[in-house]
Amino acid sequence: QQQVKQSPQSLIVQKGGISIINCAYENTAFDYFPWYQQFPGKGPALLIAIRPDVSEKKEGRFTISFNKSAKQFSLHIMDSQPGDSATYFCAANQDAGNNRKLIWGLGTSLAVNP
């Protein structure tokens, strides 16, 4: 059972457009929500993260929107560029005392057409 559900599975956007990836979670104990970017042949790299005490966080062209009541969070990529073409993963942290571990979505493959 997937505790973090990510959609869409794949996304094609034109250069300059907005890419939007959504995630929904079930466990209200999650307290940290990162997004990772993975290029082919590379491991995931932390892109941006948010905690549930804020509703939005922006870093450059990347914005996380967080809706605590709906248990949803999303990644917006403004002015999408071909270099943004990658797989994006959302995740959530399950903090059980010292046993912190990330629960991951299944990923979204983003292609930005030039």
**Should residue 24 be labelled a site residue for other proteins when binding is judged by CB under 8 A?**
no
β-partners of residue 4 are: 25
Q: Does 11 bind other proteins (CB under 8 A)?
A: no
CB atoms near residue 74 (< 10 Å):
18
Is 45 or 78 the residue whose CB approaches other proteins more closely? 45
Q: Which of 1, 43, 53, 83 contacts other proteins by CB under 8 A? A: 43
Contacts of 113 (CB under 8 A, 6+ apart): 12, 13, 14, 15, 82
Residues 85, 33: Cα–Cα separation, whole Å: 21
The residue among 3 and 72 lying less far from other proteins, judged by its C-beta, is 3
Decide if residue 99 touches other proteins (CB under 8 A). Answer: yes
Determine the 3-state secondary structure of 86 from DSSP. Answer: strand
Cβ proximity to other proteins, 43 vs 83, nearer residue? 43
Binding residues for other proteins (CB under 8 A): 2, 32, 34, 41-46, 49, 89, 91, 93, 98-102, 104-107
